[in-house]
């Protein structure tokens, strides 16, 4: 089954490698956004089944984007997985407190990223 997923990340290299991974390894449909604001618009327009959301972005960062997604009834129920290179324990506690569905850490393995996401979301 081709799941629909939205990747929001300001870093083009991460965005494209993640998209390559999810499209070619798992056969999912991927839409990308390069900022929190663009991600909000894409989420409304595209209605993805899940959102992979970067934490550190200029302008609207990941946590702010997540809160905006939750405020909007159109996007409030879409599962959100944070994708971050922040590995310190204090950061992890902060992310867990947000109420996201999961936190995935960079760097990721392109061959198994889709398996990790599917496992979290019960898509297996």
Partner 1 sequence: MEPIAQPDLDAALDRMWAKFLPELEKRVAFLERANAALAAGTLNVDLRAKANAAAHKLAGVLGTFGLTRGTVLAREAEIIYSGEPDTDPANATRLQQIAAGLRTLLASRKGRACPESEVPIRIALSS
The footprint of partner 1 (CB under 8 A) covers 2, 11-14, 16-17, 20-21, 23-27, 56, 84-85, 87, 92, 95-96, 98-113, 116, 119-120
Measured CA to CA, the distance from residue 78 to residue 69 in angstroms comes to: 8
Q: Cβ of residue 106: shortest distance to partner 1, in angstroms?
A: 4
Contacts of 101 (CB under 8 A, 6+ apart): 50, 79, 80, 81, 120, 121
Considering the complex, what minimum distance in angstroms separates the CB of residue 74 from partner 1?
Answer: 22
Q: Which is nearer to partner 1, 41 or 96 (CB)?
A: 96
To 10 degrees, what angle do helices 89-98 and 62-71 make? 10
Q: Which two tokens stand for residue 11?
A: 């870093």
CA distance 82 to 60: 14
Closest contact distance (angstroms) between CB of 99 and partner 1 is 6
Beta bridge partners of 82: 53, 103
Q: Minimal distance in Å, beta carbon 21 to partner 1?
A: 8
Q: Which is nearer to partner 1, 78 or 100 (CB)?
A: 100
Q: Which lies closer to partner 1 via its Cβ, residue 13 or residue 73?
A: 13
Q: Which is nearer to partner 1, 31 or 104 (CB)?
A: 104
């Amino acid at each position: 089954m081709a799941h629909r997923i939205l990747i929001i990340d300001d870093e083009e290299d991460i965005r494209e490698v993640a998209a390559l991974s999810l499209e070619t390894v798992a056969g999912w449909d991927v839409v990308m956004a390069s900022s929190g604001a663009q991600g909000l618009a894409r989420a409304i327009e595209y209605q993805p089944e899940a959102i992979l959301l970067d934490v550190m972005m200029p302008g609207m960062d990941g946590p702010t984007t997540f809160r905006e997604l939750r405020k909007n009834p159109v996007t409030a129920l879409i599962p959100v997985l944070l994708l971050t290179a922040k590995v310190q324990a204090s950061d992890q506690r902060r992310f867990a407190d947000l109420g996201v569905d999961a936190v995935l850490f960079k760097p990721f393995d392109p061959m198994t990223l889709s398996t990790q996401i599917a496992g979290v979301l019960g898509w297996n």
